[in-house]
Amino acid sequence: MASAAENLRQLLDQPGILTMPGCHDAMSAKLIEQAGFAIGFMSGFAVSGARLGMPDTGLISFGEMLDQGRNICSTVRIPMFGDGDTGFGNAVNVKRTVEGYARAGFACIMLEDQVMPKRCGHTKGKDVVPREEAYSRIQAAVDARNEGSDILIMARTDARAILGLDEAIERANEFARLGADITFVEAPESIEEMQHYCQNVPGPKMANMIENGKTPVLPPAELEDIGYKIAVFPLTLLNASIKAMQESLQMLKQGQEPSNVLDFEGLKSAVGFPEYYAEFDRYNS
């Protein structure tokens, strides 16, 4: 049976762009799989919000992210990407993070070049480490993979917002040279910048589609024409779930029955009661 990483490699080798919704827990990961998507993404922003009720400002720990990742990866069979933030320390910490994410079941880990504590790439206050430190993080991640951790490496740079697009492209090219499987230039601010990145960096590339963020949100087909291989929608499910919960709470507060909820049979089906009862009957018939 092929590993999650091998399944992801096969998907990357096939033609066409991969649309990747983001999840924040096992239930949202299961919904991604049930909807028929080939891959999913554990978003650090989303996990921090859902698990801690706190912003994506470096407050969540390696242990908390790893625990959430184990729950997510054990729930689904599709390859999952895991947000590894900065690797939670120096190059040695990065290796431990990569090894831990691989054991948790992730097919790919995303690592970035921000200064700790990191920030969401579409918010203020972020900064990046010097090139040498950024490169050492990715080298350590690649070493961990080459030494036996069955996981792909996605190397992210946030340099566009601080040092400009040319610096971001320079870093992405070096990440690819070091052996990163996928590169990700965060928060280009126009279609022209997205095109410039895709035309000047080799290998698979990811576009980050955050609703009302800094980067133009484009249909996957258009992103594929530009040169992207993956279109991630990291916050759509968290965003939609918060909005639905807020609306339901307002209806309850006003003495109304919420109208935007599943019927009970639909809820039981979503969380897995039919599969449970099938197994129960098999062992008790």
The pLDDT value recorded for residue 117 is: 80
The pLDDT value recorded for residue 121 is: 63
The pLDDT value recorded for residue 175 is: 98
Q: What residue ranges define each of the domains in the chain, with the CATH number in brackets?
A: 4-236 (3.20.20.60)
Q: Three-class SS string for the chain?
A: CCCHHHHHHHHHHCCCCEEEEEECCHHHHHHHHHCCCCCEEECHHHHHHHHHCCCCCCCCCHHHHHHHHHHHHHHCCCCEEEECCCCCCCHHHHHHHHHHHHHHCCCEEEEECECCCCCCCCCCCCCECCHHHHHHHHHHHHHHHHCCCCCEEEEEECHHHHHCHHHHHHHHHHHHHHCCCEEEECCCCCHHHHHHHHHHCCCCEEEECCCCCCCCCCCHHHHHHHCCCEEEECCHHHHHHHHHHHHHHHHHHCCCCCCCCCCHHHHHHHHCHHHHHHHHHHHCC
What does each of the 285 residues of the chain score in pLDDT, given as a tens digit?
A: 889 999 999 999 999 999 999 999 999 999 999 999 999 999 999 999 999 999 988 899 999 999 999 999 999 999 999 999 999 999 999 999 999 999 999 999 999 999 988 877 676 778 999 999 999 999 999 999 999 999 999 999 999 999 999 999 999 999 999 999 999 999 999 999 999 999 999 999 999 999 999 999 999 999 999 999 999 999 999 999 999 999 999 999 999 999 889 999 999 999 999 999 999 999 997
The pLDDT value recorded for residue 119 is: 73
The pLDDT value recorded for residue 32 is: 98
The pLDDT value recorded for residue 161 is: 93
The pLDDT value recorded for residue 136 is: 98
